[in-house]
Structure 1
Amino acid sequence: MIQKADRLNDVQEYYFSKKLREVAGLIHDGKPVINMAIGSPDLQPPPTVVEALKETMQLENAHKYQSYQGIPALRDGICNFYKENYNVVINSATEILPLMGSKEGIMHISLAFLNKGDQVLIPNPGYPTYASVTKLIEAQPVLYNLTEESNWLPNFLEIEKQDLSKVKIMWVNYPHMPTGAVASKEDFQQLVSFAKKHQILIVNDNPYSFVLNNNPQSILAIEGAKEVAIELNSLSKSFNMAGWRVGMVVGAAETIKIILQVKSNMDSGMFLGIQKGAVAALKLSSSWFEKQDAIYKKRRAIVWRIFEALNCTYDTSISGLFVWAKLPKGETSEKFTDELLYKKDVFISPGTVFGSNGEGYIRASLCVSEVALNKVLSRLTTSKK
């Protein structure tokens, strides 16, 4: 058999890819497992989005290759969305690149700017794909600590104690996954100043800013940010379109042009129907987010009760699609979540999936119906009686 590439030696299969196979096996064997681990929205996309997709199917050019840069209507829609919701002015022709999901963008950005041996600042805890893609590119991940004591924000004094001369990219993600922490305008200003000081490209991964968050922020709203920062965004969480795979990267024209050099060699454009659906989604008013939040607030209240039943503590001020909770003293994340899975048929994410600073924490998704969440609560509270 042909041997795998050396670049895979330090890259493991994604935790959820492996664990979901195990969960599927348990369900196949008759176990009534309830999955509270994955952030895949179970709610439906807006009806106008689905209708736009259907209507596109009848167009003469619907099934042809599409532009690598997306149709003008989609770029205009993203442009208007950023202006209305983030107060960020961008050029729809040159400063936007639609993506087949923002996860694709992580790879494109890394391929566009990293050489072998370059270093990348990666949050701990944080989205595991930042580190795995960095390794695939044969660059070097350099973890920076996020802790509860610092409100899960970068400690620049600590970071600057390191040699940053080889660092080219810094990944940030606010509202933060997995903790739900939110960055203020002042926090983003610090990031931009840090990036300018050290000549680092900041990439803010921003898919959660409209979920249980009354103050959506973009790093690009900071004066001078385009000189050193770009932003990934996605319709997956905000509009329940995760399976549609539609997102974007926004930033200075020259930066976007470089990323396009990679993307134009990786795909042949996004399906027209998906683009038309995205255009419809981006036109929706704030009432759409308010309706979604009303559902998520009810679910979150039950998740809080679940965590209380598990003797965990949590922060009620967080935003996003998850609830991050601290385990009782002495408990370890994977042991705790495995016992929940095998003894209570409940699958929750261990914090260690997201880095060593996730030890002692667990994360639950709000992409679970109230009925299912109440079943989990019943399993936990009944066993205590």
Structure 2
Amino acid sequence: MEVANRLNTIEEYYFSTKLKEVRALQASGKPIINLGIGSPDLEPPKEVVSALVSSLYDKTANTYQSYQGLPELRNGIRDFYHNHFKVSVNPETEVLPLMGSKEGVLHISLAFLNKGDAVLIPNPGYPTYFSVTKLVEAEAVFYELEAANNWFPDLEALEERDLSKVKLMWVNYPNMPTGARASKQQLKALVAFAKKHNILLVNDNPYSLILNDEPLSLLAVDGAKNVCLELNSLSKTFNLAGWRVGMVLGAEEHINAILNVKSNMDSGMFYGIQKGAIKALEVQDDWFATLNTEYEKRREAVWELAERLGCTFNKKASGLFVWAKLPEGLDSESFINELLIKKDVFIAPGFIFGSQGDGYIRLSLCAPLEDIQTAIQRL
């Protein structure tokens, strides 16, 4: 049986294949330290776990759930956005919980893209933007991000390109993989660009509260809801990656289009996870302070590790990663493979995020400080 033609346009996700190799090395007895992926190893808030456990005895815990999620969850998302981003949304019409924001990338693409529509994708950027674009048979149009411009798109250069087929644009600030932050003025410029060219602008915003003293939302820009959506996630902020809790916010007409797709693809998020997510959204600011204190310690150690590898990097970046430039002339894939075999340390190569990522590596903060220090010693 032949597979669908769409599968010929993409490959298995890099981490899906590479982590098989890492696990095989670990199974053979190799003491691999994994600094490659952004899967938080820290525990979620205890009250979040308690909320999930206690909810299992509720009468509705094992029933089908609403495609739109519990009203309390949507209200929690509304309050979270108001408290942290000064953004007001209607929880009935402008909020849709998701089973992870990665699901949202697919749902948004299915809701708005026709075959042949063009999509602006950052390079470097999250690989899923490209793969999903190809799966829905749209045209991927990369726009390059440069270190010299702090990894923000050159909108003037984009203006000179043919944008007539562009229907959707992905942005991601704080940026992954680079950790670059966008200013309020830059977000305003993005919204103005989207309005001018009738483009649906989608900001993927899961790192906004990690090592970032000024969290921003694209939806805080005046008039942004008319042309923008924003994805967010509880994975990084509350150490709930495996729970698969995300959200998309925007204008009612856009949310309804996504709901039309979602309601035909799943049966709603598990009740217990929703109850835990509600509790997570209620945690106080001291949670974020404690979380970031730990990540600050780890980042200091990762900086030392990067320096020992001969790399340069930006200490003002945010998020769960350190994006580091290799010494001139080194290939990122060869570099990380040699490090894995000779030093038992796995780091993500920059090329997997696009051609602009070659010559870079991405080091994760999602490993115990002791492991990072051990990696330093091995060098």
Q: Hey, what does 1:323 align to over in structure 2? A: 322
Structure 1 residue 329: Cα displacement: 1.1
Q: Hey, what does 1:77 align to over in structure 2? A: 76
C-alpha distance after superposition, 1:220-276 (max 9, x if no partner): 000000010000000000000000000100000111001100000010010111001
Equivalent position SS for 1:362: strand
Within a 5 Å distance, the mapping from 1:151-162 to structure 2 comes to 151-162=150-161
Q: Hey, what does 2:227 align to over in structure 1? A: 228
CA distance in 2, matches of 1:187, 1:280: 33
C-alpha distance after superposition, 1:187-229 (max 9, x if no partner): 1100000000000000000000010001110000000000100
Letter in 2 for 1:245: R
Structure 1 residue 131: Cα displacement: 0.2
CA distance in 1, matches of 2:156, 2:98: 35
- Which sections of structure 1, spanning at least 5 residues, go unmatched? 381-385
Q: Hey, what does 1:169 align to over in structure 2? A: 168
CA distance in 2, matches of 1:168, 1:84: 32
Q: Hey, what does 1:365 align to over in structure 2? A: 364
Q: Hey, what does 2:184 align to over in structure 1? A: 185
| Count of residue pairs brought into register by the alignment | 379
Letter in 2 for 1:80: D
CA distance in 1, matches of 2:233, 2:363: 21
C-alpha distance after superposition, 1:291-343 (max 9, x if no partner): 00000000000000001111111110000000000101111111111110111
Structure 1 residue 22: Cα displacement: 0.6
CA distance in 2, matches of 1:118, 1:303: 41
CA distance in 2, matches of 1:358, 1:217: 25
CA distance in 2, matches of 1:143, 1:329: 24
> Is 1:336 matched up with 2:331?
no
Identity of aligned residues (%): 61
- Which sections of structure 2, spanning at least 5 residues, go unmatched? none
CA distance in 2, matches of 1:146, 1:285: 35
Q: Hey, what does 1:201 align to over in structure 2? A: 200
CA distance in 2, matches of 1:36, 1:360: 17
CA distance in 1, matches of 2:5, 2:282: 46
Structure 1 residue 117: Cα displacement: 0.4
Equivalent position SS for 2:187: helix
Equivalent position SS for 2:142: strand
Equivalent position SS for 2:9: coil
Letter in 2 for 1:152: W
Letter in 2 for 1:58: Y
Within a 5 Å distance, the mapping from 1:300-311 to structure 2 comes to 300-311=299-310
Q: Hey, what does 2:89 align to over in structure 1? A: 90
C-alpha distance after superposition, 1:117-169 (max 9, x if no partner): 00000000000000000000000100000010110001011112211000000
CA distance in 1, matches of 2:330, 2:268: 48
Equivalent position SS for 2:230: strand
CA distance in 2, matches of 1:308, 1:131: 32
C-alpha distance after superposition, 1:336-378 (max 9, x if no partner): 1111011111100000010000011000000000111111000
Structure 1 residue 32: Cα displacement: 1.0
Structure 1 length-normalised TM? 0.98
Equivalent position SS for 2:188: helix
CA distance in 2, matches of 1:161, 1:343: 47
Letter in 2 for 1:74: L
Q: Hey, what does 1:11 align to over in structure 2? A: 10
CA distance in 2, matches of 1:219, 1:140: 25
CA distance in 1, matches of 2:276, 2:88: 23
